[in-house]
Amino acid sequence: MIRPHDSIIVQTLGRFLIPVVQIFGLYVLFFGQYGPGGGFVGGVILGTGMILSVLIFGHDASRSQIAKKILHGDGVGMLIYAGVGGLCMIGGGEFLNYANLEIPGLETASRRSLGIVLTQIGVAVDVAVTAVSIVFSLSAEEIIEDSING
């Protein structure tokens, strides 16, 4: 069980810092197409933002709800990834061959670009969920049990 941090400095800073961290995470995620970055790093940063809010505002605060909700999404990231791959197969190509992503009105190059972005989003979601769930299971085992048992 993580209690809220009692320092006002940490609380105030956290209020400013967390949105910045999240936006930076999204930036790294989408910038991965053109330079250093990508799904894994972006996911780690997104996960860090959520962990930060849990550490600063405590486990029960309304700001931590998203981190608790996201725990159910273990498979969602993988599902996005495999779903994009499956769409490529339906389009007639190999698994993850983005050129066969059947989206009308897009050239091959844009299809490839879109495909990579989608799979990277999947990767990011999974990495973020994993990071958050590691912190939760280290801090309080019974909470995870409860949230899984509904």
- Which positions lie near other proteins, rule CB under 8 A? 72-76, 78-79, 82, 85-86, 89, 93-99, 145, 148-150
Closer to other proteins by CB, 13 or 66: give it: 66
Closer to other proteins by CB, 57 or 98: give it: 98
144 close to 71: Cβ distance less than 8 angstroms: yes
Closer to other proteins by CB, 60 or 74: give it: 74
**Shortest separation between residue 77's beta carbon and other proteins, angstroms:** 9
**Shortest separation between residue 85's beta carbon and other proteins, angstroms:** 8
> Residue 132: how many CB atoms within 10 A of its CB?
24
**Shortest separation between residue 128's beta carbon and other proteins, angstroms:** 15
Closer to other proteins by CB, 21 or 96: give it: 96
**Shortest separation between residue 146's beta carbon and other proteins, angstroms:** 10
CA distances from 10 to 36, 41, 45, 56 (A): 30, 25, 19, 7
**How far, in Å, CA of 97 to CA of 109, rounded?**
12
